[in-house]
Amino acid sequence: MLLLHGFPEFWYSWRHQLREFKNEYRVVALDLRGYGETDAPFHRENYKLDCLITDIKDILDSLGYSKCVLIGHDWGGMIAWLIAICYPEMVMKLIVINFPHPNVFTEYILRHPAQLFKSSYYYFFQIPWFPEFMFSINDFKALKHLFTSHSTGIGRKGCQLTAEDLEAYIYIFSQPGALSGPINHYRNIFSCLPLKHHMVTTPTLLLWGEKDAFMEVEMAEVTKIYVKNYFRLTILSEASHWLQQEQPNIVNKLIWTFLKEETRKKD
């Protein structure tokens, strides 16, 4: 089981799932390229989507596996979708949390001002060095706000982010240069999408927090047209963008159900 985190997170965002699934799976939660203690190349070209996809393929190979259960959240969800599209033979089952199929995202954002506004940080991140500066000033106030505010934070109706949890995030992103790699992921996105070959043929579970401050829930509902196999969408009311941390018991139960049930291709 391979777990891909989002922004601005690292492997720690999967702490509840690592404990839950370790008895039946070899569970590996990665730090994506440029995050945490991974290599962080300086140039933005090193963070193109094809590089990120190849990273995951190479990691799976290095672990000695040809297939995996692939789970991705947020930006990690984007990568998970792309792996299922480009290397369907690698993915036994696909689970994505709060990120729609990439084609849905790019088409929806162009037609719906509300989503364009919610995704405005994608454009802000295109500016050199300034986003890193804004995240780091005032003792990483912006990063703390992202995780703890009423509008965007973790714990709206579920598990709160503890002081120790928040300290773990601040420690990781306060290391020298630790913000540039993660933000560089976004600095290539407009040159990479949309996709030409976009259908997913893997059994897929899409989990969604209804009160996601960054993603319109309608995108989740449209995603099913891009999955030419078993597809299940579960929307959790009153849940936020940070679903696997905020509602871990429910998320884990839904994942178990999906993993254990027989899934068959749609007619």
Residues 14-66: tens digit of each pLDDT: 999 999 999 999 999 999 999 998 998 989 999 999 999 999 999 999 999 99
Asked whether residue 265 is assigned to any structural domain, the reply reads: no
pLDDT given at position 267: 43
Going from the C-alpha of 208 to that of each of 12, 166, 174, 265, the distances in angstroms are: 20, 23, 30, 22
Task: Look over the chain and give the mean of its residue pLDDT values, rounded to a whole number.
Answer: 92
Asked whether residue 163 is assigned to any structural domain, the reply reads: yes
Total structural domains in the chain? 1
Written as one string, the DSSP assignment of 202-214 is: S-EEEEEETT-SS
Q: Give per-residue pLDDT as tens, 186-213.
A: 998 876 655 555 899 999 999 999 999 9
39 a catalytic residue: no
Residue 245 has pLDDT above 90, yes or no: yes
User: Which domain range does residue 135 map to?
Assistant: 2-260
Asked whether residue 172 is assigned to any structural domain, the reply reads: yes
Question: Strand pairing partners for 204?
Answer: 94, 231
Asked whether residue 169 is assigned to any structural domain, the reply reads: yes
Asked whether residue 267 is assigned to any structural domain, the reply reads: no
Selecting among 5, 73, 185, 241, the annotated active-site residue is: 241
Residue-wise burial string across 220-248, b where 16 or more C-beta atoms lie within 10 A, e elsewhere: bebbeebbebbbbeeebeebbbbbbbbbb
Scan for tokens 């990479």, then name that residue.
Answer: 192
Residue 4 has pLDDT above 60, yes or no: yes
Selecting among 74, 169, 185, 212, the annotated active-site residue is: 74
Residues shown for the chain: 267
DSSP state of 39: -
Contact 234, 208 (CB under 8 A): yes
Question: For residues 132, 136, 138 and 143, what is the CA-based torsion angle, rounded to 10 degrees?
Answer: 100
241 a catalytic residue: yes
Asked whether residue 266 is assigned to any structural domain, the reply reads: no
Closest CA to 248 of 2, 13, 68, 59: 13
Q: Give per-residue pLDDT as tens, 125-154.
A: 999 999 999 999 999 999 999 999 988 998
Contact 239, 156 (CB under 8 A): yes
Asked whether residue 199 is assigned to any structural domain, the reply reads: yes
Asked whether residue 66 is assigned to any structural domain, the reply reads: yes
Domain containing 76 — which CATH number?
A: 3.40.50.1820
Q: How buried is 192 (Cβ within 10 angstroms: 0-12 exposed, 13-18 middle, 19+ buried)? A: middle
Selecting among 169, 186, 212, 226, the annotated active-site residue is: 186
Residue 265 has pLDDT above 80, yes or no: no
Residue-wise burial string across 144-181, b where 16 or more C-beta atoms lie within 10 A, e elsewhere: bebbeeeebbbbbebeebeeebbebbeebbeeeebbbb
74 a catalytic residue: yes
